[in-house]
Structure 1
Amino acid sequence: MPSAVIVEYDAAWPVRARELLAEVRSAFASLPGSDGFGYEHIGSTAVPGLGAKPIVDLQVRMPDLPPLADLAELLAPTPFVPAHGSRPDSPGVHRDGRRPGDQADDAVYEKRLFHSPAEGAILHVRRADSPFARFVVDFRDWLRCHPEQARRYEQVKRRLADEHAGGPDYDDYTRAKTAFFTEIGPRLRDWAAGS
């Protein structure tokens, strides 16, 4: 697997996200209740000015998760195919991790993950009641409202990318970022509860 490489913010990222989300929305139009699904640009590429890996993260929230094969069939006209991670237990492929303080049933952490290497994009399909789905949106919005924390997060990511450059396991970079999430978690929760 390639190492994480952090690049300067690119104003084309939100444009690409909108275009890809439009394709996904069209692909999911036949699913019951699809007009009520949440379609979101998440992750660092969704925070103006924030350096990031040049991979656009997208999220769809829906009440229930269809089988992976069913979603893959619907997404066939789009550039997205199922993602499998670098190994069977890669974090965030089949389920998200429980965040400190989350009190929900384990079933709500299940997810479906797709990617498009050609488009440099990842699609996370999560349940609407997933605490992690809420977390990634809150985190994005918190970074947008706290530019000093966005700069700090970018520094953390650049340091971790350097530390894990050429490492045998790309997932090490992903896991290492959780220390930042854990540290800011209480402030983020308070901020989200008040906004």
Structure 2
Amino acid sequence: MAAPQIVPYDPAWPSLAEAWLERIRRAVAAVTPEPLRLDHIGSTAVPGLDAKGFLDLQLLMAELPDEAQMSTALASCGFRRARGSRPDSPGVDRDVPRPGTSPAHHEKLLFFREEPHPQNPGVILHVRRMDSSFADFVLCFRDWLRSDGSARADYAAHKRALAAEFAGADDYDDYTRAKSVFMDEAQRRMGWPRPPRATAAPTSR
């Protein structure tokens, strides 16, 4: 992928994402009968937020599936396995753990689909474990941006500044790494990780 280009929010993104989530659900049914969770994540999942022209989707499973089987299943929807522009491209085979979290369970599979028509967004699918703390972070980050107009404006300005800074780049990698400054601040403002729920004390009968 070339340098990032930020485009105005498109009200069609949520419905397009829902359609893709259903297609993916059907496609992976042959790979795993286990319960799974599918979500629209990222900037295109936040009404009013400018974004890159790609829908980010997340598939959560108890264990990462066999890569070859998953690749075959998703090929029916036009997805290809992402390999990264560089050997150390972030977020391709493993997520970078957020500060203060365990590095366990951050392995992932990343797939993408580029649309032949410029007016249609491409699709990026992040396949993660249910117990990945990074998976929880992206859901909380999405919900925080949806509920906080000031945070949305700050993030939009940050992304546009970075897109301008890296406009001549050959890939997304430096842009992605530079966003970590905002993510670190967002983590503090969000109060994430969320404190564990208290367990009720057993009662005698």
Give the TM-score normalised by the residue count of structure 2.
0.88
Flag structure 1 segments of 5+ consecutive residues without an equivalent. none
Establish whether residue 177 from structure 1 lines up as the match of residue 176 from structure 2: no
Could you tell me which residue of structure 2 aligns to residue 158 of structure 1? 160
Could you tell me which residue of structure 2 aligns to residue 87 of structure 1? 86
Q: How does 1:34-113 map to 2 (within 5 A)?
A: 34=34, 36-105=35-104, 108-113=105-110
User: 1:120 is matched with which residue: 119, 122, 128?
Assistant: 122
Letter of the 2:4 counterpart = A
Q: Distance in 2 between matches of 1:184 and 1:72?
A: 33
Q: Distance in 1 between matches of 2:81 and 2:170?
A: 22
Letter of the 1:56 counterpart = L
- Given that residues 4 and 171 in structure 2 are in contact (C-alpha distance below 8 angstroms), is that contact kept between their aligned partners in structure 1? no
- Given that residues 31 and 70 in structure 2 are in contact (C-alpha distance below 8 angstroms), is that contact kept between their aligned partners in structure 1? no
Percent identity reads 48
Q: Count residues in correspondence.
A: 192
Matched residue SS, 1:75: helix
Larger radius of gyration: 2
RMSD: 1.8
Q: Distance in 1 between matches of 2:153 and 2:77?
A: 34
Q: Distance in 2 between matches of 1:113 and 1:157?
A: 22
Could you tell me which residue of structure 2 aligns to residue 8 of structure 1? 8
- Given that residues 93 and 113 in structure 1 are in contact (C-alpha distance below 8 angstroms), is that contact kept between their aligned partners in structure 2? yes
Q: 1:104 to 1:164 in 2, by over 3 A?
A: closer
Q: Distance in 2 between matches of 1:112 and 1:85?
A: 11
- Given that residues 3 and 168 in structure 2 are in contact (C-alpha distance below 8 angstroms), is that contact kept between their aligned partners in structure 1? yes
Greater per-residue helix proportion: 1
Deviations 1:85-135 (A, max 9, x none): 111211000000010011252xx0000000001251100000000011110
Runs of 4+ aligned structure 1 residues displaced above 3 Å come to 31-34, 190-195
Flag structure 2 segments of 5+ consecutive residues without an equivalent. 116-120, 198-205
Matched residue SS, 2:70: helix
Could you tell me which residue of structure 1 aligns to residue 27 of structure 2? 27
Q: Distance in 2 between matches of 1:109 and 1:121?
A: 21
Q: Distance in 2 between matches of 1:156 and 1:167?
A: 17
- Given that residues 142 and 191 in structure 1 are in contact (C-alpha distance below 8 angstroms), is that contact kept between their aligned partners in structure 2? no
Q: Distance in 2 between matches of 1:168 and 1:113?
A: 19
